[in-house]
Amino acid sequence: MNENISIIAKKISETSNNVIFTGAGISTESGIPDYRSKGGIWDKFRPVYFNEFMSSRDAREEYWRRWSELYQDLILAKPNPAHMAIIKLHEMGLLKSVITQNIDGLHQESGLPDEKVIELHGSTCRIRCMSCNKISSIHDVKKRLDSGDLAPECECGGYLKPDTISFGQAMPVEKVERAIKMSKDCNFFMVVGSTLIVQPASHMPVYAKNSKAFLAIINLSETPCDGICDVRVHGKAGEVMTKIINEIDQNGR
Ligand SMILES: [Zn+2]
């Protein structure tokens, strides 16, 4: 494992054109459950599909009930050592961009500027009006839910919805294209805490590898891209990322 960490540290230091791809494994270390995993909220209940949300008040109320549960996890969650290691890379001038499957906004909360984060599945820290696109604060919307407004609407009459990609909702074309371009153009691509199962996110390492980037994967379990990567570390995101930063520091950056 330590040998692989040294290789990763060396490769990151060689270029500033480094892309980091993060998934649920980095958020679980901040206490955010992996909702798609067994026992997670999407495993317990049938998901509310986008067309149901848009066509049925019952579905909207159901969605908001579940979101209220997530809200509790969300306000308690703080960036962990893996997020902070990514910030260090940013400060060292060694980070081009983060592509994330996570919807918790923790990369931004850790101090990464918005323009360095591509949120493929959106963010549950923003509430968007589905008609006029106005963004509202999650805390204001939570207050409305708590006061009995069970499916909040915008003043324009549009439905408010967390700014995430729901089941059955189209992926944001511009973001996906930007992520593909970043993946193809980078010299070094590192997966941190993703099982690389959810599409189209899971294709990004393949784009990177096919474009001759060095591909590293840090994850607790196996991924479908293990066979094509250059270096693989089985471990927790926070621990491994901290070791990588220490190694870069020691090598005198
Ligand atoms: Zn509106």
Q: What is the pLDDT of residue 44?
A: 66
What does pLDDT average to over the chain? 93
What region, left, alpha or beta, does residue 238 occupy, with left being phi > 0 and alpha being psi -120 to 50 degrees? alpha
Closest CA to 83 of 28, 129, 8: 28
Quote the CA–CA distance of 217 and 21 in Å, as a whole number.
Answer: 9
Q: Residue 127 C-alpha to ligand 1 middle, in angstroms?
A: 11
- Could you report the average pLDDT of every consecutive run of 10 residues in the chain (253 residues)? 93 96 94 67 75 97 91 90 98 97 95 96 94 95 97 97 92 94 98 90 94 97 95 96 95 69
Catalytic residues: 121
The pLDDT of residue 198 is: 84
* pLDDT recorded at residue 18: 98
- 49-74 pLDDT, tens digit each: 999 999 999 999 999 998 998 888 88
Question: Full-prediction pTM beyond 0.85?
Answer: yes
Question: Cα(222)–Cα(110) distance, rounded to whole angstroms?
Answer: 28
Phi then psi for residue 123, to 5 deg, are -140, 135
CA of 135 from ligand 1 middle (Å) equals 9
What spacing in Å lies between the alpha carbon of 55 and ligand 1's midpoint?
16
- Predicted confidence at residue 41, as pLDDT, reads 55
Domains, the chain, with CATH or none: 1-31+79-121+171-253 (3.40.50.1220), 33-76+122-164 (3.30.1600.10)
Q: How much distance in Å is there from the Cα of 149 to the middle of ligand 1?
A: 16
